[in-house]
């Protein structure tokens, strides 16, 4: 009888975890769509800034701040779904899943203290608008001597996988550590973790965090940030090409004058 009860409990736990994975996947798809909306808002704002339509740009920035709340709520829900799925244990009493989710979401919100005005997505929005007329100059509030760095670069703690050596923009399946936020190629880091017995120190030098297979994942924001870096690299390459072409053109003019 005891073994039968245990078997039923395991079956219930397995079904709950499977359902949680499905729900989380569905919710992550919604998060991905929200990030696409951020990208659209930013592109429109850049176009308006080029036309010097500052009031409309400000309206879009306010809309982005409002959309950020929806993004944060969706991310909290995703985390809550995963936590409930991972920790659920059946009991003799009827489980109030609504209460479990509410408690997890409240916990996530209490641990999230980022000011919306300083959120990476809002900073990326403002930076894109600022660069229309002030590329290469520090944004308001930054010191002139600060290293000018895009917020995308600032969020991606490493630009190459420490194990494969590939740039993060070329990773086929990028994942990020929940603990230290470093980025790796999925299969490579999972193989590394398995080779260390299931737990491994982060392969980034001087990082003290310990990795496990369930603590590395690909979140929609990571994919968004990598795509932003790809776009930034293309823009920088195009700018360098124009500068090089200009230099060559000037050289050609001098030789003709001689």
188: CB partners within 8 A, 6+ apart:
161, 163, 164
Instruction: Give me 248's structure tokens.
Output: 């060559």
- The dihedral over CA atoms of 116, 120, 122, 123, expressed in degrees to the nearest 10, equals 120
For residue 132 the two structure tokens come to 């229309």
What pLDDT is recorded for position 230? 84
- In this predicted structure, what is the pLDDT of residue 91? 80
For 60, how many CA atoms within 13 A lie in the half-sphere containing its CB? 22
Distance CA 28, CA 25 (A): 5
Among 110, 70, 92, 78, residue whose Cα is nearest residue 9? 92
Q: Are 9 and 90 in contact (CB under 8 A)?
A: yes
Encode pLDDT of 65-82 as tens digits: 999 999 999 988 988 888
Is 209's pLDDT higher than 90? yes
Angle at 125 between CA 46 and CA 40, to 5 degrees: 60
Closest CA to 60 of 43, 71, 45: 45
90: which 2 tokens? 């059946």
pTM for the whole thing?
A: 0.66
């Amino acid at each position: 009888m005891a073994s039968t009860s245990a078997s039923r409990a395991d079956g219930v736990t397995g079904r709950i975890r499977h359902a949680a994975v499905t729900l989380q996947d569905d919710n992550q798809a919604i998060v991905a769509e929200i990030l696409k909306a951020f990208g659209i808002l930013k592109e429109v704002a850049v176009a308006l800034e080029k036309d010097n339509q500052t009031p409309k740009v400000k309206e879009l920035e306010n809309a982005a701040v409002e959309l950020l709340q929806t993004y944060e709520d969706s991310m909290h829900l995703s985390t809550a779904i995963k936590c409930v799925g991972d920790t659920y244990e059946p009991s003799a009493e009827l489980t109030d899943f609504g209460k479990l989710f509410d408690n997890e979401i409240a916990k996530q919100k209490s641990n999230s203290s980022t000011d919306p005005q300083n959120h990476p997505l809002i900073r990326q929005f403002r930076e894109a608008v600022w660069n229309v007329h002030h590329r290469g100059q520090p944004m308001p509030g930054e010191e002139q001597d600060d290293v000018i760095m895009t917020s995308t670069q600032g969020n991606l703690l490493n630009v190459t996988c420490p194990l494969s050596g590939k740039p993060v923009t070329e990773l086929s399946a990028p994942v990020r550590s929940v603990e230290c936020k470093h980025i790796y190629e999925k299969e490579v880091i999972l193989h590394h973790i398995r080779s260390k017995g299931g737990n491994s120190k982060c392969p980034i030098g001087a990082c003290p965090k310990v990795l496990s297979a369930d603590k590395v994942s690909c979140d929609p924001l990571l994919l968004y940030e990598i795509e932003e870096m790809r776009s930034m690299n293309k823009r920088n390459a195009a700018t360098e090409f124009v500068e090089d072409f200009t230099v060559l053109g000037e050289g050609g003019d001098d030789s003709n004058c001689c």
